[in-house]
Amino acid sequence: MLLKRFVCEFSFVLVCSGILAQEAGNGPFVMPAISDPIFTHEGHFLTEGTNSLENLELRQWAEDVAVRVARTVGAELPHGEARVIRITINNDDPVSSGRVMAEEGMEKGVFVRRLKIYNYEKIGRSEANEALCKSLLGGYVAYRHPKPVDSVDEVSSAAYMGTNSLSLPGWFYRGMSRYIYQDMRAVDVDAVLRVWKNGRLKPFPEFLNGVEVEKDYPYAPVYTIIVAWIESLPDRHEIFSKMFDQLASGGALSPDWFAKNIPGCHSVSDVDEQWENWIIKQWRVVHRLGVATALQVEQLKERLVLQQGDVGIPLSPNSTRRITFKSLTEMKSDEWLQAVLKSKIWELRLLGMGKGRNFNDVVDAYCRFLDAVSAGKRASYVKDLLDKADKNLEELEAKVAESGSTGDDK
C-alpha cells in the first residue's frame, strides 16, 4: 500500500511538472508519459475515454487551466455533479487533423457541458486551451442565470437551456486562454505595442464586434491585452462578475456597457482613451523577468545613436545630425564626448534591467565599445569591439524572431 501510494504521489508530481513547465501555453498538447494513473479531487471534470493515461493527462491539464482562470476572474467554479465538464476523447479517425469543441445541451433529460477532443495527439495546446476557456467561462455565465442550478433536477429544466452560455464573445475566451500564461502574455503585449507604435491600433470598440476584417492583424494578442487591462483595474473581480451577470441575462458586452461599468468612464471614447493609455504605459513594464521581446530589441537598436538632445551634447541650433556608433570609431575623445558616452552607457544598462542574460550580453558588448571610445583607444581596436557588438545584436534579433522572446531559460 505504501509503495502504491508513493507511485501515485510521484506520478502526480510528474504530471503537474509537465503542465506547469509549459508556461507559454502554446506547446504540444501531449504530456510526458507516466505509468500509474490517479484521479484529481477538484471535481470539475469527468473524462470519458478508454485510454487511462490520456484521461489522467487531460484531467490534470484541465484542472490547471481552471485554477488559472479562477485566479484571474476572482471566483471559483461551482462544484457538484451538475457542474462537471465532461471531456470526451475520440481517436477513431487517424487521418483527420485534431479538433477540440466546446458544447452544451440536453442529454437524456439532463443539461450537460462537454469538451470533445478528436485525435488527441494532433491538437495544439493553444487550441485546447481556447476551447476549454470557452467552456469554463460559459460555466460562470450559466450559473449566474436568473434561475440558478443547484441540483440535477433543476438542470433538467427546459427553461435553463435558454442560457446558451457558450455564446460569449470570442475576444473574451480567446483572450483569457492566452492571458493566463505569462510567456504568451508578454509576447502579446509586445505585439500590441508594435502595432500601436506603427499607428495601426484600432479603437477599442472595434474589437468587441467579433469581426476580424484584416487578415494579418494581430487580433489574438489584442484580445489578450483586453483581458490584461481588465485584470489591471483595482475592482477587476467585480467587473468580471458584472460581465458574467450581463451575459447570463442575455445582454452583450458592448462599448456602452464598458462605458457604464469601467470606473472613471462616462462615454465610449473615455473607455478607448483609458485602454490606450494603459497600453502606452506597458512600454516601461518588464512583463517577465529574464526575458526580452522583439519590441525591446527594437528599443535597444533605436538607442544605438547619439543625437541632439542627449545629455551632454552641446546645443547647436544649426545642427540636427545624428552621430552613429560607427561614426564614433573615427572621433577623437574630448570632455563633452566622454560625458555623453557615460550617459549613454547608463541608459543602455538601465534598458537591460530584467531582460535576461542574452539581452544584457549585447548591452555589455556595446558598453565595452563606448568605454573604449571614451578612453581614446586606437581606431582598429574600437572598430573590432563594435563589429562584435553588432554581431551579438544580430544573433539576439534572430533568436527573438524565432521564438517570440528570449531569456536566460531559452
Q: Are 225 and 189 in contact (CB under 8 A)?
A: yes
Residue pLDDT, tens place only, 347-389: 898 888 878 888 889 999 999 999 999 888 888 999 999 999 9
> Residue 296's closest CA among 370, 407, 410?
407
Output the CA–CA distances (angstroms, integers) from residue 61 to 184, 291, 341, 369, in the order listed: 17, 25, 51, 49
Q: pLDDT tens string for the chain (410 positions)?
A: 333 333 333 333 333 333 333 455 655 544 433 323 333 446 678 887 667 777 788 888 888 899 999 999 998 876 655 578 888 887 766 657 778 888 887 777 777 788 888 877 778 888 899 999 999 998 888 877 655 444 444 444 444 444 456 678 999 999 999 999 988 888 898 889 889 988 999 999 999 988 898 988 999 999 999 999 999 999 999 999 999 999 988 899 999 999 999 999 999 999 999 999 999 888 777 666 666 777 788 888 888 988 765 655 654 444 456 788 988 888 876 777 888 888 899 889 888 887 888 888 999 999 999 999 988 888 899 999 999 999 999 999 888 877 655 554 44
Look at the block and give the residue holding cell 521564438: 403
Residue pLDDT, tens place only, 74-106: 988 766 555 788 888 877 666 577 788 888 877
Look at the block and give the residue holding cell 557615460: 342
* Domain boundary assignment for the chain: 1-163, 169-285, 291-407
Give CA–CA dist 40/60, Å, rounded: 7
Would you say the pTM of this structure is higher than 0.85? no
Cell of 3: 509503495
Output the CA–CA distances (angstroms, integers) from residue 68 to 64, 178, 220, in the order listed: 6, 11, 19
Buried b (16+ CB within 10 A) or exposed e, 43-75: ebbebebeeebbbbbbbbbbbbbbebbbebbeb
Give CA–CA dist 407/24, Å, rounded: 13
Residue 40 C-alpha from the chain's centroid = 27
Give CA–CA dist 192/197, Å, rounded: 9
